[in-house]
Structure 1
Amino acid sequence: MAEVRIRPATPNDLETLLRFEQGVIAAERPFDPTLRSEGITYYDLQELITSSQALIIVAEDQQQIVGSGYARIEPAQPYLRHEQYAYLGFMYVEPAYRGRGVNALIMESLKQWAMAQGLKELRLEVYAQNAPAIRAYEKAGFAAHMLEMRMAI
């Protein structure tokens, strides 16, 4: 994976990142019947790029962005041992680059950033039916912690 490099996102990357966001939404739509049928966004990407409490990174191959992810510092619940943690999200890899370790590079870079911020825990959310994503996160060292349940009424 020597050809892929990781760097912080810049405002110049916004067009690509907006396309990636729609890719994330399209990938998750089959797992979530509560999503509106069109016109949704998950992230304020401009704010995340400029925030001192977050880092969006991109993976590049030959100056083409092929993946993304972010870490955002979040306050922990007052009953937990730690005061803050890094929440990971916006994990996206272009289809042609999947299975080549790009996601692992992204997660490792975000982990290193979180550690440099003095954080001791990473958290993320993944749909219970998204087996490929769960396998990727487990391979990176994550473990299932709690299952959120819902019921339409």
Structure 2
Amino acid sequence: MVIDIRAALETEIETLLSFEEGIIVAERPYDNTLKEGEIHYYNLIELIKSNDAEVLVATVNDEIVGSGYAKILKGQPYQKHSEYAYLGFMYVKPEFRNQGVNQKVVKQLIEWAKDRNLTEVRLEVYDENSIAKNAYLKAGFKPNLVEMRVEI
């Protein structure tokens, strides 16, 4: 199987929105603070158009099978880095999982960040999502901070 990685196109928005829906469905069991009904995490068209972001898709035989984005965010004044790349919108169609799609997308997004002289790449993953956590550990990420909450 040949996996190609390329920039997403605005004309592919329907596929990208279905991927976003897939991400939300997968994350609902980990987060009871998400609203019921249709929600959106991302403004995908804005990300595609942005000079400070890169939205990628993975294709197999011209079929879009995965996605991810990197965007440049400002670091905190107390951090060593003034800017960093934040990764999100990581999705792979179920029938293409465990075949290296996500790894190729992550690798290409990290290269995008390096090309912009960034030295830090971050992402968020639900602590209970062991499959995603293991994929990111395999890609070289390390846990940094666990956000904790209580409903009152």
Q: TM-score band, normalised by the shorter chain?
A: over 0.9
Q: Residue type of the partner of 1:147?
A: V
| 2:134 matched residue in structure 1 | 135
Give the 5 Å matches for 1:4-15: 4-15=3-14
Q: Pairwise mapping of residues 1-153 of structure 1 onto structure 2 (< 5 A)?
A: 1=1, 3-153=2-152
Secondary structure of 1:123 counterpart: strand
1:37 alignment partner, SS class? coil
CA shift digits 1:33-82 (9 cap, x unpaired): 00011110000000000000000000001111000000000000001111
- The alpha carbon displacement at 1:146 in A equals 0.4
Superposed CA RMSD in Å reads 0.6
Moved runs in structure 1, 4+ residues, more than 3 A? none
User: Where do 5+ consecutive residues of structure 1 fail to align?
Assistant: none
Instruction: Output the CA distance in 1 between the equivalents of 2:38 and 2:140.
Output: 34
Structure 2 unaligned segments of length 5 or more: list them: none
User: TM-score, normalised to structure 1's length?
Assistant: 0.98
Deviation at 1:12, TM superposition (A): 1.3
CA distance in 1, matches of 2:10, 2:69: 14
Identity of aligned residues (%): 51
Q: What SS does structure 2 have at the residue aligned with 1:78?
A: coil
Task: Give TM-score scaled by structure 2 length.
Answer: 0.99
Q: Output the amino acid matched with 1:135.
A: N
Between the aligned partners of 1:42 and 1:137, the Cα distance in structure 2 is: 20
